Amino acid sequence: MSWYRNTVWFVKGLREYTRGGYESASKHFNPADVEVDVAGRSFLVTGANSGIGKATAKEIARRGGTVHLVCRNKERAEVAKEEIVTETGNQNIILHIVDISNPKEIWKFAEKFQNEHNLNVLVNNAGCMVNNRELTEDGLEKNFATNTLGTYIMTTALLPLLEKAADARVITVSSGGMLVQKLNISDLQSGNGPFDGTMVYAQNKRQQVVLMEQWAKAHRNIHFSVMHPGWADTPAVRSSMPVFYERMKNSLRTEAQGADTVLWLAVSAEATKLPSGLFFQDRQPVPTHLPLAYTHSPPEDEEKLMQMLEEFSQKFKSVSPE
């Protein structure tokens, strides 16, 4: 059955996730949805120095928003900031150097950020696909630390700030790969059995979908959404999936096409007319499970995931001195 699900996902992806799928879907887009002025609104984009994160940040900057770029590599981040400022003419681009795989850094950053800035929209874009099992300095499996725990802590830490904001939104960049994964809370750090980086990444992306669904229930004043950007030609795809990239490079979406739905979810009035907690592809809500796939989880597993991540996160939260 797993072979069947993978095959269905791949065939579906060939049609919908490529550049041709975007071009087909975009015929039904309303350009006015994203032709908006967001001056005075504050956006935070993680993983913003390249790929979909940078494309998202650039388009928000074009529309006048204040954009906080959260990046790991200072040198590449400064180049990206300069590019965004030069191309958009928007000077309100603020750079923060944070490693999303380091939970202590995220907590420290978020505490400082809350004291200095406002925030209307959080875009959880930073992610990684490490193909061999690696541990961070905190002893965390790197994919889990970045994709799941990093997203959890960044969002949790900034929820109080978002709760105060008008039209607050949280968008998480996931992947269609999660469609082949059922939530597995028994091995969050992938320490049992053979390690398959692609499937670990897909499991993390399933976890992100669950996070957004759970937060949507708990925080009614914030609009949560999660999205699949399709298969885009980004540095992450080229480095993490070289065989896939070589086979598909002529059919991949551009970075801007991959970022289109993130932008739409972040700035359009139409997005928040839809319920919070949905999974989107090409500006439309889509199912989070394939037909006949055994990927549904009992509610208690989803609640347990939140509890486990909260316990993980608190281990790395330092108490500020009085």
Provide the annotated active-site residues: 201
258 exposed, middle or buried (CB, 10 Å; 0-12, 13-18, 19+)? Answer: buried
In the numeric block, the tokens 């007319």 are attached to 273
Q: In whole angstroms, what is the distance from residue 68 CA to residue 194 CA? A: 39
In the numeric block, the tokens 């399933």 are attached to 206
34 exposed, middle or buried (CB, 10 Å; 0-12, 13-18, 19+)? Answer: buried
Phi-psi region of 306 (alpha: psi -120 to 50; beta: other; left: phi over 0): alpha
Among 180, 108, 103, CA closest to 142? 103
- What is the maximum span of the chain, computed from C-alpha positions, in angstroms? 57
Q: Please provide residue 67's backbone torsions phi and psi, each rounded to the nearest 5 degrees.
A: -120, 125
Among 224, 215, 222, CA closest to 167? 222
Among 205, 218, 244, CA closest to 125? 205
Q: In whole angstroms, what is the distance from residue 39 CA to residue 92 CA? A: 10
